[in-house]
Amino acid sequence: MTSKSVDVLLVGAGAMSTTLGVLLKQLDPSLTITMVERLDHVAEESTDAMNNAGTGHAAYCELNYTAQNDDGSINTDKAFAINAAFEKSLQFWSYLVEQGQLPDPQNFINTVPHQSFVMGEENVAFLRKRFEVLSATPQFAEMEYSDDPEVLRQWMPLIMKNRDITEPVAATRVRYGSDVNFGALARNMVKSLQQQDGFELLLSHSVDDMSQYSNGDWRVELKNGHTGQKEHIRTKFLFFGAGGGALPLLQMSGIPEGDGYGGFPVSGQWLVCKKPEIVEQHMAKVYGQAPIGAPPMSVPHLDSRIIDGKRALLFGPFAGFTTKFLKKGSALDMPLSMRLNNLKPIMQVGAKNMDLTRYLISEVMQSHSDRVDSLRRFYPEAKDEDWELSYAGQRVQIIKKNEKGEGKLEFGTEVISAADRRLAALLGASPGASTATPTMINVIERCFPERLATPEWQAKMKEMVPSYGQSLIEDGQLLRTVRKRTLSTLKLDQDYQV
């Protein structure tokens, strides 16, 4: 059995761990970092291109980020926050491109307009009000709105082709929306790390056990999935960025901050079309509205995807339920995650969310024709034989106690960190990889506060993310300045005007 010591141990080789690794190496190149991945390749679970929608989530088209209040007003808080978060990711990626740490941006990000599309008088009124509120701010100033079928035929020809427009329809558009290949992004980040001293990638290695030394360091036991050989790594800081696998690791650590957390896994499926004569008629990410009782990640959307230079169309997602926490996980994942301290919240969530349970069951029971029928609401001329089913990655939603001690289901992400700042874990799913940069900066703020307070780290952070420490929501001129740079550097809209 071999043993070694490192400054940082990252578990999981997806979007989160790779982002944290690159950030820390930029802040202090002398740090020794080991990244552990149980699969044979980097970013093969939820980060991989076809395991997610590839949407650069900026709240331009996602209607579930702007809920309507009881009084009819639009709650924009989440939309503003997610938009500002994605801008930070764009700034960091731009910095890495400029430094030669990432390749030509079209290798991992491409311009695909973000559009919202609704049908029916009530929904059109909601979209118009949403547009009026958002477009009056710097963050959404370039958003366009139309309820003119002729204009919509130009924006989304496939969706409007031979559509019965006896009911009102409307759409909004932001031209410089993005399609992101998060798998390619993560793999390129790892390539950059591998070119630096003090970084090691261990593929086909899983965490078997862990314990904490009296001085706070962690002792992590790894097992080689091919040889069965075990080794120990001693680390000053431990991070779980393992997607759905983060909850069992958090539980294994035994830190009290992880008590009471449970996970609710939701699977996903896509309809995929690769026929050029169809694919070339649609170049947008068009989001609609989620069915009643559906979870937020089940908002239907018809997306253009650009993966390794090849275009395809994707429609979905169609939700489902499995007890696996990872696509390549075990059916025992959820049962084995149940503890005395989280069993009650899990049961309470199950009792409170019967509509969700029924919805997931109905989704699982659908035939291929049923799914294409759903697609025809978006694309009236869709034919069953032009589309095939593809399975997305697993999403494990957070179950936790609310202020009353009762179980609640959350659809966001949450960073859990130990009181001694030696361990952190990321739980949850949406909006996921799009906000990896601000989420991992949050980890650094929590767990490396003394070093982050130094002039050297402050200067480097502002070099990587120029808006760091400032509000893109409140400072419109700063937003326009950083957006002009990122859209130009990442080749998303080089004509953007400040």
- DSSP for 215-251, please give it: TS-EEEEEEETTT--EEEEEEEEEEE--GGGHHHHHH
Residue 401: per-residue pLDDT:
85
Find the angle CA(227)-CA(229)-CA(231) to the nearest 5 degrees: 145
Average pLDDT of the residues in 398-410: 84
Whether the upstream peptide bond of residue 431 has omega within 30° of 0, thus cis, is yes
Average pLDDT of the residues in 277-293: 88
Residue 2: per-residue pLDDT:
67
Residue 266: per-residue pLDDT:
84
Residue 292: per-residue pLDDT:
62
- Among 197-206, 338-347, 421-430, 446-455, whose mean pLDDT is lowest? 338-347
Q: How confident is the model at residue 246 (pLDDT cuts 50, 70, 90)?
A: very high
Residue 412: per-residue pLDDT:
79
Pick from 136, 138, 161, 131: nearest CA to 149? 161
- Among 23-27, 293-297, 348-352, whose mean pLDDT is lowest? 293-297
Residue 333 identity: D
pLDDT top residue among 140 and 298: 140
Average pLDDT of the residues in 461-483: 97
Average pLDDT of the residues in 419-426: 97
Whether the upstream peptide bond of residue 296 has omega within 30° of 0, thus cis, is no
Contact 486, 84 (CB under 8 A): no
Q: Is it the case that residue 293 has pLDDT exceeding 60? A: no
List 400's β-bridge partners, or say none.
408
Residue 120 is classified by DSSP as S
Residue 296: per-residue pLDDT:
59
Structure tokens at 275: 């026929």
Handedness of CA 446, 447, 450, 452 (dihedral sign): negative
Contact 257, 401 (CB under 8 A): no
pLDDT-above-90 percentage for the chain: 75
Q: What is the pLDDT of residues 84-104, one digit of tens each?
A: 999 999 999 999 999 999 999
Distance CA 119, CA 126 (A): 11
Structure tokens at 236: 């000053």
Distance CA 265, CA 342 (A): 15
Q: Which residue has the tokens 């706070």?
A: 216
| Average of per-residue pLDDT values in the chain | 92
Residue 95 is classified by DSSP as H
pLDDT top residue among 426 and 407: 426
The pTM for the full model equals 0.94
Distance CA 273, CA 426 (A): 33
Q: How confident is the model at residue 408 (pLDDT cuts 50, 70, 90)?
A: confident
Distance CA 213, CA 298 (A): 44
Q: How confident is the model at residue 172 (pLDDT cuts 50, 70, 90)?
A: very high
Residue 431: per-residue pLDDT:
75
Q: What is the pLDDT of residues 313-368, one digit of tens each?
A: 999 888 878 899 998 999 998 988 988 888 888 888 877 876 777 777 777 778 89
